[in-house]
């Protein structure tokens, strides 16, 4: 749990990019309506079909958004790290959530009611540009992911997934071990493959001395080759 739970301090420090574009009177409104929520590992934050009510910001932990497809096969759509905003696209689109979100590990999420955000947007062009920028970046990332999932071989998809995890969540002090422990099912869902294919491909990467695997801990020992596989996979 965040030791400092003073809303204004969290908004001004952790969410500085959003805080800086708010008008002085708007900061008071946001502070009054800002709440913190804790989620346990694997706990659902919201589910597909529910009505979006809040702008969500991940302050601590790791979060995934995912969606079930044909045959209830789960696809991880996006990974979030502190401090990233999520859960608001559906509100702007005037629809219910089309995906679900859950915590990878114990996480803390800040919430601002979307009705409050909408009122602020009407009188603050800088805030509108902030959300346009956020949505545009996410859209660009989605375009890249579509190409990856539809054109790359499973080796390329898994290599890219490992590099994505390294880029998104960083590495431990050894500068090699991913700072996230993922199940084979989650790794498969991120790479658009079956769990058995993910396990088998991980084993191949180990044999090729690209990575080391210890349970759910993955250590990247040949990032250059992984990048090559990801690019041409």
Q: Which residue segments constitute the domains of the chain, with CATH numbers given?
A: 7-149 (2.60.120.10), 153-232 (1.10.10.10)
155 pLDDT above the threshold of 60: yes
146 pLDDT above the threshold of 50: yes
The pLDDT of 9-21, averaged and rounded, is 95
The pLDDT of 99-124, averaged and rounded, is 96
34 pLDDT above the threshold of 50: yes
pLDDT at 1: 41
Mean pLDDT for the chain overall: 91
CA dihedral of residues 64, 68, 73, 77 (deg, nearest 10): -40
2 pLDDT above the threshold of 50: no
Neighbours of 36 (CB within 10 A): 15
pLDDT band at 232 (very low <50, low <70, confident <90, very high): confident
pTM: 0.88
pLDDT at 124: 96
Contact call for residues 110 and 45 (beta carbons, < 8 A): no
Q: Which residues of 179-194 are buried (b: 16+ CB within 10 A; e: fewer)?
A: ebebeeebbbbbbbbe
Contact call for residues 113 and 101 (beta carbons, < 8 A): no
Residues 184-217 have pLDDT tens digits of: 999 999 988 899 999 999 999 999 999 999 999 9
C-alpha 147/C-alpha 154 separation (Å) is 13
Host H or E run for residue 15 = none
Find the DSSP H helices in the chain: 7-13, 16-19, 24-33, 89-93, 114-121, 125-151, 154-169, 184-191, 195-207, 223-232
């Amino acid at each position: 749990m965040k030791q400092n739970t003073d809303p204004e301090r969290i908004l001004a420090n952790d969410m500085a990019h959003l805080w800086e574009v708010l008008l002085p009177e708007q900061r008071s409104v946001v502070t009054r309506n800002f709440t913190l929520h804790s989620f346990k590992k694997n706990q659902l934050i919201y589910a597909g079909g529910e009505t979006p009510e809040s702008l969500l910001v991940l302050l601590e932990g790791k979060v995934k958004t995912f969606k079930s497809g044909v045959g209830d096969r789960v696809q991880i759509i996006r990974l979030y790290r502190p401090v990233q905003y999520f859960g608001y696209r559906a509100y702007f689109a005037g629809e219910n959530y089309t995906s679900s979100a859950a915590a990878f590990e114990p996480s803390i999420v800040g919430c601002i009611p979307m009705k409050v955000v909408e009122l602020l947007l009407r009188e603050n062009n800088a805030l509108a540009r902030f959300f346009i920028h956020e949505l545009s970046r996410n859209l660009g990332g989605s375009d890249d992911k579509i190409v990856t999932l539809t054109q790359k071989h499973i080796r390329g998809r898994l290599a890219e997934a490992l590099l994505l995890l390294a880029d998104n969540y960083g590495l431990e002090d050894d500068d090699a071990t991913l700072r996230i422990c993922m199940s084979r099912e989650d790794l498969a869902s991120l790479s658009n493959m079956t769990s058995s294919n993910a396990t088998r491909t991980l084993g191949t990467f180990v044999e090729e001395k690209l990575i080391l695997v210890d349970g759910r801990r993955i250590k990247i020992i040949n990032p250059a080759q992984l990048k090559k596989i990801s690019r041409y996979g």
